[in-house]
Every structure is written in C-alpha cells, then in structure tokens.
Chain A
Amino acid sequence: MAYLTEKINGIFSPFVLLKNLFRKPVTLQFPYDSLPPVAGYRGRHILDLDKCRGCFVCSMICPNKAITPVEFRGRKYPQVDLGKCCFCQLCEEYCAGAAIRLTQQAIMVTMDKESAILGPEALSQAPTF
C-alpha cells in the first residue's frame, strides 16, 4: 500500500512545478535591469597616465600578449587589445606604479576589430557602463 502511494506520488510529482507560474521570474530584463555591481569585478582597464612608469612588466606578464608599448605624448605607454585580453588581472597585480587597474565596466561592444584596441588616450577615459 505504501509502495502504491509512493508510485502515484511519483507519477504526479512534476505538477508541483505549476506553482512556478505564479512566482516572480528569476531572469532580469537586461539592459533595463541589471545585477548590482560587485567591488573587484574584472572589467575594462583604466590607465593613470601620471603613475605609469613605462616599465612594461604588464606587457611581459600578460599571458596572451595583449599589451604592447606605443608612442604617446613623447614617451612609451601601454595599449591594450581587448580582443586578446582574457581579463585575468595579472597586469594590475604586478604593475609597479599601480597605474593600470581593472574597472567594473562589463559591456565592451564594437563592430570592428580595430576599435577593440585601446590606445593610452582611450584607456585613460573613465569607464562607461
């Protein structure tokens, strides 16, 4: 008898999911809603032009060779290729002058590959969300 009740309960068990029809959905309608940002999120880079010493440890430690030195305002600064970057934050960890940081900007949309390469001017702009 107990075996039979267990079987019948088992057959009708998925119907308990019907109550999900009356619950608030788990998904968010992005971009109208979004999750609250978390401190320490690994997003787009920002470069502080005054603090950068031009040592290029960031370029040496980058696993994908996404950072390369370029000429800007008379000296060398890093440029970042966001297409190659994997956002591992090793450049920020080993930066000698604490000049390059990762911000909370998660949306980096572009239609062509060249605009994904950010030079020192573009890197020093504040992040847009």
Chain B
Amino acid sequence: MMIDKIESHLNAKFPDALSNVAAGDRHVIFAVEQKESYPVLGELKSIGFDHLSDVTAVDYIDQQEFELIYHLRSHQQRIRALMKVRIPRQSPVASSVTALWGGAQMHEREIHELFGIDFLGNPDLSELFLEDWEEIPPFRKDFDTRKYVKEEYYGDEEQYPVVKG
C-alpha cells in the first residue's frame, strides 16, 4: 500500500497513537507512546514490513529520556518506515521485538551493553564488545571518553611533551 494509506490504516487501528508524522517520497516517520509501541510494530510487520534494518538509541540527557528508533523496510513495496519511542531515563525498560524479527536480538544486546536499556523478552543480554567493564554504560552522555582515557592510560604522564627546536 502507498505511504498515505499506511498512515490511515494505522490511524484506523490505533486512534491517536501516531504523532509527528512526516512523509517523504519513499519513507514515513512517526512517533508513538511507549505503551502502543509493541502493537504498532506487530501491525507494521503484518502489513509487509519484514526487514528490520536497525534499532537505534539516542540519549537526550536534558529531557531525561532515551529515544528508541526502529528502522523498517518493506521489500515488496520498497518503502521505509521509521518509528520512534521515548522511554524514561531512570531505570529504562522496553519490550523486545525478537519474536517479530529474529535479527533484532543482537541489536538489542548491543544497546543493552552500550546504553543500559533493559529489553524484556530477549533471550540473551550478555556482554558483546566490552570485557570486564565496570563503569557506567559508555555511550551515555554523562560518560566522558577523553577523561576516562586520560586517567586510565596516561595517568601522570605528560601528554604533550614540549620539544625545543
């Protein structure tokens, strides 16, 4: 179905759930509340969005929220859909979409390690890239990479020795 039909179809099934809708030539972007996110994703999968390209997390520390963005594509109709969900920053929990798309399990595992968001229903959320990590999740905005590197690896050593001549 065409892009405007997707919007009307979703509005019919979930009244007042979609907000901030923007539609381009071949893509549609919208935001939903957290409680509607799993039903809307299930509906999107059933109308043909069978390729989950990516799950992204953005840390809005000033508004004390995380934003999860689901990038979907329908190979049949060649359209993309981006769905955004905001979740609170204190003890962030979201429901996993592994049951809908098998490839989502690894994306959620990476976000859990790097942002600290918990996904209910994901079979395996063990560490992926980092080993023996004891600090806060590193991709959050309150983790300063340069300060960590300076303390951990340079210590007291003068970082920029001055050479005369």
Contacts and interface: CB of A to CB of B under 8 A. Distances in A.
A90 interface: no
Interface in B108-165: 160-165
A120 B165 CA distance: 6
Contacts of A121: 165
A41 interface: no
Nearest to A69: B162
B165 A72 contact: yes
Contacts, number: 23
Looking at chain B's contact residues, the main secondary structure is loop
Interface string A47-84: 00000000000000000010010111000000101000
Interface residues of B, number: 6
A119 B161 contact: no
B165 A119 contact: yes
A85 interface: no
Interface string A94-125: 00000000000000000000100111111000
Nearest to B162: A70
B163 A114 contact: yes
Contacts of A71: 164
Contacts of B165: 72, 119-122
Contacts of A81: 160
Contact of B161 (A114, A120, A122): A114
B161 A117 contact: yes
Interface in A9-29: none
A7 B142 CA distance: 64
Contacts of A79: 162-163
Nearest to A71: B164
Interface of B: 160-165
Interface of A: 65, 68, 70-72, 79, 81, 114, 117-122
